[in-house]
Structure 1
Amino acid sequence: MTTFADLDYVHKQQAQHNQALNLCADDYSLLTDLYQLTMAACYTGEGIEERRASFELSVRRLPEGFGYLIAMGLAQALEYLEKFRFSPSQIAALQATGIFAQASDRFWSLLAQGKFTGDVWAVPEGTAVFANQPLLRVEAPLWQAQLVETYLLNTINYQTLIATKAARLRDVAGESATLLEFGTRRAFSPQGSLWAARAALAGGLDSTSNVLAALQLGQKPSGTMAHALVMALSAIEGTEEQAFSAFHRYFPGAPLLIDTYDTVAAAQRLAEKVNSGEMQLTGVRLDSGDLVTLSKQVRSLLPSVPIFASGDLDEWEIARLKAAGAEIDGYGLGTRLVTGSPVNGVYKLVDIDGIPVMKQSSGKITYPGRKQIFRSFAGGKVKAERLGLLGESSPEEKPLLQLVVREGKQLQPLETLETIRQRTAASVASLPQQTRRLDSPVPVEVEISSKLQELTEETKKCRRNSGLL
């Protein structure tokens, strides 16, 4: 029963914390949609909460202009499942809402005592995948598998988008180009900026300007300067040249931003210092203007100095710059990397208590049963894709979904960022060129196995015979 003390707790929590809306691991279980909790309460009331359920997370269709996706976000998904708990104060707060007045006592007991005890199958991070292929499957008691949906979709959808864009950027720019992630200020949230930095590095970028993300990932953050420093020091100390000298005095390894006023004039003055031996310049950055023309002019003045470009760049713009002969050695990627068309991942029930189930809504049909992705290669390139049932096998094909959690326990330590980055590069390199291209890419066709087709028809038939269709 909800008491005045419970309501007082809720009001105090709202007053103290709601304006900040910060997230910590203790809050993971409440970071969900309401209907996950109401469904779990209903399952409990009907006595089916412990039935074994399998949910698969997949993408119905690729974002427009994409020929593949790079699976990412599994590490954060597994951390979430490991820390999945409801504290007494969280349960009291839920009770105080009044929404769950008809929920059974058993529901509250489940939340109080429960933790994730299921199995998880997943494709390794950095693996190229296509539409309607499960990136992850959760096999657990129904109430647990249902409650974890929202968080899993959140981390996997977003990181998969960023990793895919990063992989495409690397593919277009080439291995020799330096690619820096500059998107923190444009990411959708502070938490999102950390995930974006991680996914970008795992997808193929060299470093990030996000200091917290870099340090937490054991990386060294990278960056240059902003126009503000040049304007401030120029105004106080007299010239742009003095601003460059001051910054270079403290950070001799950092590239200089040279387009605050006159890019070519700045390059000329720097060239004089470099040629006289007064300065050893490690790089310059261009953030505006005609990057093709300016980069060529700067290269003529500073032939041995790396040139970086930034300013709302993406894979299409980098391809255009390269085709036009721009003299650019590296790119800073921000807004267009950490935003864009979303990955529309979904999390759907495919089996309950050994009974295969499927969704048959128009345009949103799912395949029933626990599935496996089978990939075959020829000459190091992806030859064919087959979506089949978990029990199928073929010596010529490689199954992609791996068991990563058994009975709530992770089976392997988390992979390093470098391991995932290498897998991403290998995955992209294995794809057909028509799948990798930017203009009208053609995804690899995914064949549906005969056993999966048979199960699909049997499942439809069972529903028709039961009068549900």
Structure 2
Amino acid sequence: MSKTSNGSPATAAIKAATNPMVSPLLTDLYQFTMAYAYWKAGKHQERAVFDLYFRKSPFGGEYTVFGGLEECIRFIANFKFKEEDISFLRSVMPTCEDAFFDYLRKVDCSDVEVYAISEGSVVFPKVPLMIVKGPVAVVQLLETPFVNLVNYASLVTTNAARHRFVAGKSKTLLEFGLRRAQGPDGGISASKYCYVGGFDATSNVAAGKLFNIPLRGTHSHAFVSSFMSPDEIVDKALQSRDGSRTCKDFVNLVQAWLSKLQRTDSLRGIFGETNQSELAAFISYALAFPSGFLALVDTYDVMRSGIPNFCAVALALNELGYKASGIRLDSGDLAYLSVQVRKFFCAVEKEIGVPGFSRTFITASNDLNEETLDHLNKQGHEVDAYGIGTYLVTCYSQAALGCVFKLVEINSQPRIKLSEDVSKVSIPCKKRCFRLYGKEGYALVDIMTGENEPPPKIGERILCRHPFNESKRAYVVPQNVEELMKCYWAGKSVLPLSLNAFLLWLCYIFLLKHVWC
């Protein structure tokens, strides 16, 4: 997977769902009981249309980013009951006729159509993310897995997008949530959809392999505290980057640079004797990864030990033609520490004369979330990258998106779900959905029309109305009209399953005045 394409043409065979647990049995029992009742009544082949949508944008926000379409198409492309599935269903539905299970053996999705908004798109409440059309019994069996595959995917993609919006386009965002995710699939899904939502890399190696997501990571505090002193380092040799020479004692070279730093006027008094076990760990890591040396500097004392030790190793690497990747802060006042670290780097560049050293990368972690990033921005900081885990992948501030899957048409007859709670009233009939754009290219509004109604036209004044709130209405004269729903499946794959790069122009989202027609 890349952010712009999954690479496979529409005619290529579609792989199975990423998680092997995604099978026709990954559904609620009532889907099978309804399927049997449809079959028993002779209604199972009737043509039905269902909308998959959500009622309210998550996290108290105004938008959602759609995720999960690719996995839904993978699921239906491989939808088939195995004999062991049939045997299990017989055991839990013992009163059902044998002919029903014969019917299930033949069920696939060759008579199903799926229309959807492109994955990675910004979407809004009530507008269908997916429209699924086909035999009512078959489409009913797709309800729970589709909602499952879209719900968390869209929620975590949106969470990632919100973090990207707050962090800004220039910052690097790293997803570090695997160890805190809800199980292995939660971790894999989070890595994939955080990448779709605007993150740059993940620490999750399995996700890197599965989806071609860039991997990033360094060492832990355990690595630092496992060393006692530089005397433990046995192989001290390091070849220069261009291979022209070999430094036989890299440890001695680092210690010489540390002494030079201690004698430098502008740095004198900032640190004294640094922690030697930390220094040993940094040297060992640099010897292992001289081209990718990124050090965790807060195991003991950031400014009095971690940063001086890092700088000594980085300067020794620089002498051999390498460039250190940077440092990571994982505790303390991140805004203050990042500013102090940047000042130290600037002083080193000025006094030692190493061009670019002042711009050495500073990464921050430690239970970061959207609010933390906002607070850091308001305080002022020098952080270049954020490693974000728990609050990101668990979607801590909202448990679920709340997607629903509602029947809107059967046998070409509209159907509606009524409720005393107006937010739960469904919008009947098979729809077309359009996004209207203004003169400056910004999206103005999304509207829905009946399938057979004329589409909105460029330059033609349109009255857009909210279906449940008469006071929400607006006249719009679109300068461009984009039809949102595309056919991705019509018994076979119709369009490539390409993921849109998440557009970082999220500022325009807040200009959208979303009403329905």
The aligned residue for residue 430 of structure 2 is: 370
Q: Cα deviations across residues 423-448 of structure 1 (Å, max 9, x unaligned)?
A: x2166354235x6xxxxxxxx32222
- Decide whether the 8 Å contact of 1:374 with 1:398 is kept in 2: yes
Partner in structure 2 of residue 400 of structure 1: 484
Q: Structure 2 length normalisation: TM-score? A: 0.76
Q: Which residue of 2 aligns with 1:281?
A: 324
**Matching residue within 438, 445, 449 for 1:384:** 445
CA shift for structure 1 position 34? 0.9
Q: TM-score, normalised by structure 1?
A: 0.83
Three-state SS of the structure 1 residue aligned to 2:24 is helix
Q: 1:293 maps to what in 2? A: 336
Q: Give me the whole-angstrom Cα distance separating, in 2, the residues matched to 1:77 and 1:40.
A: 20
Q: Which of 234, 247, 259 matches 2:285?
A: 247
Q: Write 1 or 2 for the structure with the bigger share of helix.
A: 1
Residue aligned with 1:108, SS: helix
426 and 295 in structure 1: CA distance in 2 versus 1, 3 angstrom threshold = closer
Check the 8 A contact 2:19/2:185 in 1, yes or no.
no
CA contact 2:203–2:217 (8 Å) conserved in 1: yes
- SS of alignment partner, residue 383 of structure 1: strand
Partner of 1:209: 203
Give the Cα–Cα distance (whole angstroms) in 2 for the partners of residues 317 and 254 of structure 1.
Answer: 27
Show the 5 A alignment for 1:182-201: 182-201=176-195
Q: CA RMSD in A?
A: 2.0
Segments of structure 1 that go 5 or more residues without pairing to the other structure are 1-22, 436-443, 449-469
* Other structure's SS at 2:227 match: helix
Kindly provide the amino acid, as one letter, of the partner of residue 256 in structure 1: A
Runs of 4+ in 1 over 3 A off after TM superposition: 23-27, 234-238, 272-280
The secondary structure found in structure 2 opposite 1:115 is: coil
Q: Secondary structure at the match of 1:221?
A: coil
Residue aligning to 1:106: 99
1:82 to 68, 77, 80: 77
Q: CA deviation at 1:220?
A: 3.2
1:101 deviates by 2.4
Q: Distance in 2 between matches of 1:107 and 1:121?
A: 29
Alpha-carbon separation, structure 1, partners of 2:21 and 2:150: 20
Contact 1:381 1:432 (8 Å CA) reproduced: no
1:267 to 277, 294, 307: 307
1:79 Cα offset (Å): 0.2
Q: CA deviation at 1:75?
A: 0.5
Structure-2 separation of matches of 1:222 and 1:349: 44
State how far apart, in whole Å, the 1-side matches of 2:449 and 2:229 are.
67
Q: Percent identity?
A: 36
AA aligned opposite 1:266: G
Q: Contact conserved, 1:271 with 1:301, CA < 8 A, in 2?
A: no
Change (3 A) 1:210 1:275: closer
Q: Deviations over 1:74-108 (max 9, x none)?
A: 000100011111111111111123xx223233321
Give the gaps of 5 or more residues in structure 2: 1-17, 233-275, 346-357, 459-480
| Secondary structure in structure 2 of the residue aligned to 1:349 | strand
Does the residue aligned with 1:28 lie in a helix, a strand or coil?
A: coil
Q: Label 1:94 to 1:235 Cα distance change in 2 as closer, same or farther (>3 A).
A: farther
Aligned to 1:345: 403
| Whole-Å separation in 2 of the counterparts to 1:27 and 1:431 | 34
- 1:72/1:104 Cα in 2 relative to 1: closer, same or farther (>3 Å)? same
1:359 aligns with 2:397: no
How has the CA–CA distance of structure 1 residues 426 and 351 changed in structure 2, closer, same or farther, with 3 Å as cutoff?
farther
- For the pair 1:409 / 2:505, whether they are aligned, the reply is no
1:417-428 alignment, distance < 5 Å: 417=499, 420-421=500-501, 424-425=502-503, 428=506
2:127 matched to which residue of 1?
A: 133
1:431 aligns with 2:509: yes
Structure 1 Cα separation of the partners of residues 228 and 409 of structure 2: 67
| 1:37 counterpart = 2:76 | no
Computing the radius of gyration over CA atoms, which structure comes out larger, 1 or 2? Answer: 2
On the 8 A contact 1:387/1:446 being kept in 2, the answer is no
Tell me the amino acid that sits aligned with residue 158 of structure 2.
Answer: T
Name the residue aligned to 1:454.
Answer: none
Q: Which residue of 2 aligns with 1:445?
A: 514
- CA distances 1:122-179 after superposition (whole Å, capped 9, x unpaired): 0001111111110001101011100011111111111111111111222221222111
Q: CA deviation at 1:229?
A: 1.0
Contact 1:179 1:205 in 2 (8 A): yes
In the alignment of these two chains, the number of paired residues is 410
